[in-house]
Amino acid sequence: MEPVLAIGIGVLAGSGVWLLLRPRTFQVVIGLSLLSYAVNLFIFVMGWVRGGAAPFVQPGAPVDPARFADPLPQALVLTAIVITFAMTALLLVVLLASRGLTGTDHVDGREDEE
Amino acid sequence: MSREVLLVFLLVLPFAGSIAAGLLRADARNTEAWLAGAISLAGLAIVAALYPEMAGGGVVRHEFAWAPAYGLAFTLRMDGFAWMFAAMVTGIGFLVTVYARYYLSPEDPVPRFFSFFLAFMGSMLGVVLSGHLVQLAFFWELTSLFSFLLIGYWHHNAAAREGARMALVITSAGGVCLLAGVLVIGRIAGTYDLDEVLASGDMIRGHELYIPALLLVLAGALTKSAQVPFHFWLPQAMAAPTPVSAYLHSAAMVKLGVFLLARTWPVLAGTEAWQLIVGSAGLCTLVFGAYLAIFQHDLKGLLAYSTISHLGLITVLLGLGSPLALVAAVFHVMNHATFKASLFMSAGIIDHETGTRDMRRLGGLYRFMPITATLATVAAAAMAGVPLLNGFLSKEMFFSESLVAEVGVPAVQRLLPFVATAWGALSVAYSLRLIHQVFFGPPPAGLEKVPHEPPRWMRFPIELLVLACLLVGILPAYTVAPILDVAVRSLLGEATPAYSLAVWHGFNTPLIMSLVALAAGVVLYAALRGYLARGVESPPLFAAIEARRIFERVHVAVSWRWARALVGVLGTERLQPQLRWIVVVAVAAGLLPALRAGLGPGPLDATPVDPAFLLMWVVGGACALGAAWQAKFHRLAALVLSGGAGLVVCLTFVWMAAPDLALTQLLVEIVTTVLLLLGLRWLPKRLPYRGTAAGAVAALPRRLRDLATAVAAGTGLAALSYLVMTRPIPDSISRFFLERALPEGGGANVVNVIIVDFRGFDTLGEISVLAVVAITVYALLRRFRPARESVEPPPQQRAQSPREAEDDLRVPAAIIRVMFPAIVVLAAFLLLRGHNLPGGGFVAGITLVIAVILQYMAAGTRRTEAQLGLRPLRWMGSGLLLAAATGAGSWLLAHPFLTSHTPKVVLPVLGEMHLPSAFLFDVGVAAVVFGASGLILIALAHQSLRK
């Protein structure tokens, strides 16, 4: 399990970084989106307990923290997912505006001389 | 009222006044002047009320503990010397206020002037009243700052900006040195308290760090007092309005330098180094300033250089290190303030009345303004040191000190009386020139207006100051003696020497020196008249070395050339290198600790692989790689593939006991995809790659480098994840959350309880960010101009008539319309159960957005908006208000912000219900998420409707 997930995170992050370094704005948007999947998963696995139950406690029953997945990274990632959406939206609109102003979708607002 | 409270008032009043003055109307010239005048008078009254205490040799202290562990306190302390300065600052401040009322024209932004002026006065008082060295350095910098603002008051004028900048650079650089020096002193003495430092003079002088401390403190004092070689900022500062010059260069700003020298005199003076540095700086300044003053053609320029020269005189006296010289210095501080302030004000009147300050164009003004001319003549005579005026007395003291002072260098000791006499002659010459060239001789030609006497009250401050010059000069024992005594005694204590303030000391050497200086000055002026009449711009001898120009060169080199060179080497405007460096640094930051401490797999073995999980991630990885591959030429494919990767992430959340995350991820995935689809329309068409093979080869190194970076980042993150997953998680705060969620948060869903309760404040910040982003997107799109070629409808849209499109969508549209209420109910359901089961505000908000998006797709923008009438901004605003109000509600129950409580509500049909306040908070969250994402999507969708 663990190696599969770790490699999965690595592939997501690597693809994301590769796209982040590309010259076209859309590539950067997709890259950022892939990178945030990787980072969200990474934060999430920090609190993963093997065989742990989802963090829902039963009324009346005593709580054994060792039985549950760590709720804190989950709460962090939950808000991070929503913020990622906002960030993607902002980035997209900035890039569109830059495209409208400069006439190109190169990240620097002008085509490479090379 | 107790003495301590008076001190606090004295400091707080000007700052309060400054704020009040800044808030007044732009044309409230009289109100402003009344306010500033009243405040400076009140300050003066407070100072006067404290006189009995000072006359008794007392010290008034008031201390506010601030960070006692670090030896930091806010200490106000007034002794006789500080008292004298405070009286000068408030007294002359008052006169300048009166003068400024008439000087400033109605077009000037008067509130700004008085606001800065009062703040400057407050900063001056702050320095003077500081009982703590760091506090002193703080107010010192404030005076630099406010003098910058005052000098640059007419900021439309390039000279004013230049002068202000130069003054700020020089004096605040000095201020930084002073702070460093103060810290060194604090280290030596073990305290920053002024009283304790003053008491440990011997220890400080004997310490090995004495020289660094001395150099640093002197750097502060000498820059502020415009001593050579830092003198050049002062003439440049003459671009300020004249009231500012009259204040800054007579009573205030420049006197701070000598204030500091005198203040630290008991601690730092008396050594060879002190005498060498302070004495020589003063001596150079004294001669140099007086020499240059003669050759100035600008009235204020002459006064500026004479100010430099007189400050040099005070500095020399302080540098000599003898108690009698200190008395003379303190005395001259007061005398100089009175005659120089009145001269500056007269210069301002002349400028006002004639429209010029160039002495080559002025002349014969006595005819037009006899009273002003008389007043200025008396003040100038005081500056020249003519008997029966105050300047004479302190000058005589200087002369007699120059005869008896013990100077380390014998040659200097022998020369000192001659230098002093020469200085006297130069002072006489420039004072004479000022009066003769401006008020006598032929009347000026070519002036725009006929000059006449200024308004009655504009002249009043000058009259008062000149009267003071006369009274002090004739009757020193009855006027200034007690004040001087109070000031000097507080500095010297037991060591106060016997001195006499009489006008007549008999026919002694100083008197002869004075007479020689007077005669020589007159002769010098007569000799120079021909030269001066020719109007040569720069003074002889020193035309080539101008400190100002050197400063400019250095300034340009450091702040422009070097900076640009550095940016050229290190900086880039291109995004890709910046991003690459960020990634590289992040990888390095992760790698370094691993290399240093070593990092192996943890104690736990990997769990067996579930084939389904493996398959899922094979698909996920392929999606990610595919998206990376296709993002350039096949955007839609890349978007779909990236969505596929997102789904795999979502399934992983399900697999690993995080249903809340899975739900959120799924819904956000939908909204993000719609968002990006809306954006695709505005991107340029990407033609298939048609580069040459040579181009591909050229790009190869760059691509390989990026590939290596990406692989490094991916491998690093993968390794780190694996290493963490093979270790048991440590005991953390999560135990607390799990145990308390139900009893204290009232919810079984711990993740949700954390979001809306335990970490509710974070969430409040989070939804605020969301709202800010949405508004930013909205604002950006309002001004958005799409590229020309993407304005036309895309080919797909053109190929199909609207009618056909509607036909195609008929069945889905019907289904979607029916679905709308169902999805809304689903959203409500997710919201309601969120506290105990997967769901919550975030999820509910996004679900609602999806419901709306679907309507847009089915019915089109116009019809949907006509039917639904959404107001995303209102949703967002009310959501934020609701969340904040829920948090604030706990204040009513005397709990901290956002404390949750769970009242039990018994409803008729549903029975007993728990309604935690956190639920209301969650409703707010849902509203904000709905409003914000709705606003973003709708704004983007509307772009296609724009004409």
Q: Give per-residue pLDDT as tens, B538-550.
A: 777 665 567 778 8
B678–chain A nearest CA distance, Å: 10
Q: Give per-residue pLDDT as tens, B436-476.
A: 999 988 888 777 778 888 888 899 999 999 999 999 999 98
What average pLDDT does the segment B784-803 reach?
A: 74
What is the structure's pLDDT at B10? 93
Instruction: Band the pLDDT of B906: cuts 50, 70, 90.
Output: low
CB nearest B763 (choices: A49, A79, A93)? A79
- Write the CB contacts of B677 (distance below 8 Å, at least 6 apart in sequence): B639
- Whether residues B658 and A74 touch (CB distance < 8 A) is answered with yes
- Whether residues B739 and A63 touch (CB distance < 8 A) is answered with yes
DSSP code per residue over B576-593? HHHHHHHHHHHHHHHHHH
What is the structure's pLDDT at B113? 92
DSSP state of B898: T
Side chain identity, residue B940: L
What is the structure's pLDDT at B405? 81
Instruction: List the structure tokens of B132.
Output: 């703590």
Instruction: List the structure tokens of B518.
Output: 């007077």
CB–CB of B359/B437 below 8 Å? yes
Instruction: Band the pLDDT of B231: cuts 50, 70, 90.
Output: confident
What average pLDDT does the segment B868-893 reach?
A: 87
Q: Give per-residue pLDDT as tens, B153-197.
A: 998 989 899 899 999 999 999 999 999 999 999 999 988 999 999
- Please report, in angstroms and rounded to a whole number, the separation of the first and last CA atoms in chain B: 73
Q: How many CB atoms lie within 10 A of CB B304?
A: 26
Considering only B126-130, B602-606, B869-873, which range has the smallest mean pLDDT? B602-606
CB nearest A99 (choices: B575, B682, B774)? B682
Q: Give per-residue pLDDT as tens, B596-645.
A: 887 777 788 888 888 999 999 999 999 999 999 988 888 999 999 999 99
Prediction pTM value: 0.71
Residues of A within 8 A of B707 (CB-CB) are 18
Q: Give per-residue pLDDT as tens, B37-85.
A: 999 999 999 999 999 988 888 899 998 888 888 778 899 999 999 999 9
What is the structure's pLDDT at B910? 57
More confident residue, B611 or B802: B611
Distance CA B179, CA B230 (A): 18
B141–chain A nearest CA distance, Å: 41
Side chain identity, residue B358: D
B945–chain A nearest CA distance, Å: 16
Q: What is the length of chain A? A: 114
CB–CB of B161/B152 below 8 Å? yes
Instruction: List the structure tokens of B344.
Output: 């500056």
Domain-embedded: residue A111: no
What average pLDDT does the segment B242-261 reach?
A: 90
B161–chain A nearest CA distance, Å: 35
Instruction: Band the pLDDT of B574: cuts 50, 70, 90.
Output: confident
Report chain A's C-alpha Rg in angstroms: 19
- Residue given tokens 């001669």 in the structure block: B287
B851–chain A nearest CA distance, Å: 17
Number of domains in chain A: 1
Q: Give per-residue pLDDT as tens, B74-87.
A: 999 999 999 999 99
- DSSP SS3 for B295: coil
Domain-embedded: residue A62: no
Q: Give per-residue pLDDT as tens, B257-285.
A: 999 999 999 899 888 899 999 999 999 99
Domain-embedded: residue A32: yes
> Pick from B430, B405, B186: which is nearest to B289 by CA?
B430
Domain ranges of chain B: 278-534, 541-571, 574-683+705-727, 749-947
B810 backbone φψ class: left, alpha, beta (φ>0; ψ -120 to 50): alpha
ipTM value greater than 0.90 = yes
- Interface with B, mutate which of A19, A27, A76, A82 (most B CBs under 10 A): A82
Distances (CA, A) of B943 to B786, B791, B901: 9, 10, 45
Instruction: Band the pLDDT of B912: cuts 50, 70, 90.
Output: low
Side chain identity, residue B460: F
Instruction: List the structure tokens of B475.
Output: 């009757």
Report chain B's C-alpha Rg in angstroms: 39
pLDDT reading at A114 higher than 50: no
Q: Give per-residue pLDDT as tens, B367-417.
A: 889 999 999 999 999 999 998 999 999 999 999 988 888 887 888 888 999
Residue A74, domain extent:
2-50+69-102
Instruction: Band the pLDDT of A46: cuts 50, 70, 90.
Output: confident
Considering only B153-162, B559-568, B708-717, B857-866, which range has the smallest mean pLDDT? B857-866
> Pick from A78, A71, A67, A47: which is nearest to B741 by CA?
A71
Residues of B within 8 A of A45 (CB-CB) are 656, 721, 724-725
What is the structure's pLDDT at B559? 84
- Whether residues A97 and B780 touch (CB distance < 8 A) is answered with yes
More confident residue, B571 or B86: B86
- Whether residues A17 and B624 touch (CB distance < 8 A) is answered with no
CB nearest B575 (choices: A70, A97, A108)? A108
Distance CA A14, CA B669 (A): 20
What φ, ψ does residue B603 adopt, rounded to 5°? -70, -25
> Pick from B46, B48, B15, B42: which is nearest to B122 by CA?
B15
- Whether residues B621 and A78 touch (CB distance < 8 A) is answered with no
A67–chain B nearest CA distance, Å: 10
What is the structure's pLDDT at B947? 55
Q: Give per-residue pLDDT as tens, A48-96.
A: 878 788 888 887 777 777 788 888 899 999 989 989 999 999 999 988 8
Distance CA B66, CA B74 (A): 6
What average pLDDT does the segment B724-750 reach?
A: 83
Instruction: Band the pLDDT of B865: cuts 50, 70, 90.
Output: confident
What is the structure's pLDDT at B646? 94
Percent of chain B predicted with pLDDT > 70:
97
Domain-embedded: residue A94: yes
CB–CB of B220/B306 below 8 Å? no
Q: Give per-residue pLDDT as tens, B308-334.
A: 999 999 999 999 888 899 999 999 999
- Mean per-residue pLDDT over chain B, rounded: 88
Residues of A within 8 A of B627 (CB-CB) are 15, 19, 30, 34
Distance CA B815, CA B826 (A): 16
- Whether residues B729 and A79 touch (CB distance < 8 A) is answered with no
Residues of A within 8 A of B717 (CB-CB) are 9-10, 13, 38, 42
Q: Give per-residue pLDDT as tens, B97-127.
A: 999 999 988 888 888 999 999 999 999 999 9
Determine the residue of chain A that is closest to B640 in CA distance: A30
Distance CA B684, CA B535 (A): 68
pLDDT reading at A110 higher than 90: no
C-alpha atoms less than 13 angstroms from C-alpha of A43 in its C-beta half-sphere: 17
